[in-house]
Amino acid sequence: MALHVLADPPDARDAADWRWQLRHAVTSPAALEAALPLTDEEREGARHAAAQGFPIAITPYYLSLIDPADPADPIRRQCVPRAEEAIEVRGDLRDPLGEEAHEVAPELVQRYPDRALLLVSDRCSVYCRFCTRSRMVGAGGGARSLERLEPALAHLAAHPEIREVIVSGGDPLVGATSRLEALLGRLAALPHLDTVRIATRVPVTLPMRVDDALCEALRAFPATWVMTHFNHPRELTEASSAALARLIDHGLPVMNQTVLLRGVNDDAPTLEALFRGLVKRRVRPYYLLQADPVRGTGHLRTPLATGERIMAQLQGRLSGIALPKLIVDTPGGHGKVPHGPSYVAARAPGRTTFRTFRGELVDYLDPPSVTREAGQSTAREV
């Protein structure tokens, strides 16, 4: 497959600078037309995106992963708008996870008793067309100042039941290292916080951003976990692999959340290659997420049965460390639920019959109940 080559290739030193990548990102319909031979559907999608305020941004690096001759290219489908974005289908929601309804302070969302989501920016290096927060990304303001985040930090300080903070946005790593370090330092001063998760797609779309200074800054909170977002094995390039290695070699655990997307990764061989590639790079596949019902994304979402089928195909073909949970984040902000195929073929008192990945039926017998009288143990069958 021939990768896209920019008409005017930059100096390698420029292309390796993450700020250069951001400055030269494709951000308009005209720039997109100049960068790729667009289909009519993509051309209309770019016009709609510009009119509706859901921005376009594709870094030169991520653009280089697209096969310009293939309109169905899986990288292209993730970042190039299509006319279908103007179509709303049954179940579409503006705010599918109910984040606005669960906002407990400005920029702070709490949907679970023990953790909260801190939105620290509305900027990303690449705007994914399936974005859960398409209602707000690129809306202006960029990275939030500590002053703006003070009410959220005060709420966290006043609620010791919150044990974990997910730092997201937008992408928290698209911005100054010093700003992120200052924020993590403030979180580290809260004694009840056990962990901080950084939700980022930078290793996928802007891997040159992951330098030693950033990795050191991420250690400002002692238990920082990095949650990244690879959706296709072709995103596991030499550059992204180096970014992952740098994070891990600095002692930062990295886990991955993949979104199940129609025409991108909705088949078992593609996901098997992705999950194997992640584990080879010391990254734990954590979630396979059913795509959220964001308005205008019906063309990218799959039926629930697709995920069930794929997980059944992967069970037994992949080791446990390579097999993520299939998760549905229930609409309206009611929380995540695990989902997947059932391996129980039959139940009877004290007996469960399982169907293995090979299709064999195997009985599992419950142990007998145990009663204790006068210091003696007597077993009887259930």
Does residue 79 sit in helix, strand or coil? helix
C-alpha 368, offset from chain centre: 44
**Residue 363 and residue 333 share a domain:** no
| Per-residue model confidence as pLDDT tens digits over 315-344 | 999 999 999 999 999 999 999 999 999 999
Question: Can you give the pLDDT at residue 13?
Answer: 75
The pLDDT of residue 177 is above 80: yes
pLDDT tens track for 208-238: 999 999 999 999 999 999 999 999 999 999 9
Residues of the chain with pLDDT > 90, as a percent, come to 90
The verdict on residue 2 lying in a domain is: no
Number of domains in the chain: 3
How far, in Å, CA of 350 to CA of 340, rounded? 24
137-175 core/surface letters (b: 16 or more CB in 10 A; e: else): bbeeeebbeeeebeebbebbbebeebbbbbbbbbbbbbb
Active-site residue identified among 127, 171, 292, 301: 292
End-of-domain residue from the set 41, 56, 86? 86
**Residues 322 and 186 placed together within one structural domain of the fold:** yes
For residue 92, is it within any domain? no
CB atoms within 10 A of CB 195: 16
Known catalytic membership, residue 336: yes
CA neighbours within 13 Å on the CB side: how many for 321? 10
Name, in order, each residue with C-beta under 8 angstroms of 125's C-beta and a sequence gap of 6 or more.
21, 22, 25, 57, 59, 62, 171, 174, 201, 202, 205, 206, 209
pLDDT of residue 71 exceeding 90: yes
Read off the DSSP letter of residue 348. E
Residue 1 has pLDDT above 50, yes or no: no
Residue 284 in domain: yes
Which of 86, 118, 143 terminates a domain? The answer is 86
Q: Is the pLDDT of residue 376 over 60?
A: no
Residues 269 and 177 in one domain: yes
Average pLDDT over residues 150-177: 97
Q: Within this chain, do residues 63 and 112 fall inside the same structural domain, yes or no? A: no
pLDDT over 70 at 8, yes or no: no
Q: Is 194 a catalytic residue?
A: no
370 domain residue, yes or no: yes
Beta bridge partners of 378: 371
267 plus 323 within the same structural domain: yes
Q: Model's pTM, two decimal places?
A: 0.92
112 is catalytic: yes
- Residue 28 counted as domain residue: yes
CA 26 from chain centre, in angstroms, equals 22
**Distance (Å, whole) CA 226 – CA 285:** 12
Chain-wide mean pLDDT for the chain? Answer: 93
- Does 108 lie in the same domain as 78? no
292 counts as catalytic:
yes
Q: Which helix (H) or strand (E) holds 226?
A: strand 224-228
pLDDT value, residue 53? 78
Contact between 252 and 215 (Cβ < 8 Å): yes
Catalytic residue status for 128? yes
If asked whether residues 131 and 37 sit together in one domain, one would say no
Give percent of the chain with pLDDT exceeding 70.
Answer: 93
Confidence of residue 201 (pLDDT cuts 50, 70, 90): very high
Q: Which residue has the higher pLDDT, 139 or 45?
A: 45
* Co-location of 230 and 160 in the same domain: yes
For the question of residue 215 being annotated catalytic, the response is no
Residue 225 structure tokens: 């976990």
Residue 59 lies in a domain: yes
pLDDT of residue 136: 92
The pLDDT tens digits of the residues spanning 272-316 come to 999 999 999 999 999 999 999 999 999 999 999 999 999 999 999
The DSSP H or E segment spanning 224 is strand 224-228
Helix, coil or strand: residue 346: strand
Do 245 and 316 fall within a single domain? yes
What was the pLDDT predicted at 372?
59
371 and 243, same domain (yes or no): no
Domain that holds residue 348: 344-380
Residue 204 has which token pair? 């996928």
pLDDT at 40 over 70: yes
Helix locations, 138-237, DSSP H? 146-158, 177-188, 202-205, 212-218
Q: Of the listed 77, 123, 133, 209, which one is catalytic? A: 133
Residue 3 lies in a domain: no
Amino acid identity, position 1: M
Whether 297 is in a domain gets the answer yes
Tell me the average pLDDT across 97-111. 97
pLDDT grade for 138, boundaries at 50, 70 and 90: confident
The pair of structure tokens assigned to 255 is 């886990």
Is 131 catalytic? The answer is yes
Report how far residue 79's alpha carbon sits from residue 131's, in angstroms, rounded to the nearest whole number.
10
Among residues 76, 77, 82, 111, which one is catalytic?
Answer: 111
Are residues 211 and 72 located together in one domain of the fold? Answer: no
Helix, strand or coil for residue 313? helix
Active-site option among 112, 135, 276, 355: 112
> Residue 369 — pLDDT band, cuts 50, 70, 90?
confident
Question: Taking residues 34-59, what's their average pLDDT?
Answer: 94
Q: Are residues 187 and 50 in the same domain?
A: no
Look up the CATH number of the domain holding residue 168.
3.20.20.70
- Is the predicted pLDDT of residue 375 greater than 70, yes or no? no
Task: Give 14's pLDDT tier (boundaries 50, 70, 90).
Answer: confident
Domain end: 61, 86, 111, which one?
86
Q: How far is CA 143 from CA 48, 352, 372, in A?
A: 26, 53, 63
Residue 5 has pLDDT above 90, yes or no: no
pLDDT of residue 52: 85
pLDDT at residue 371, rounded to an integer: 58
* Paired tokens of 270: 């593609």
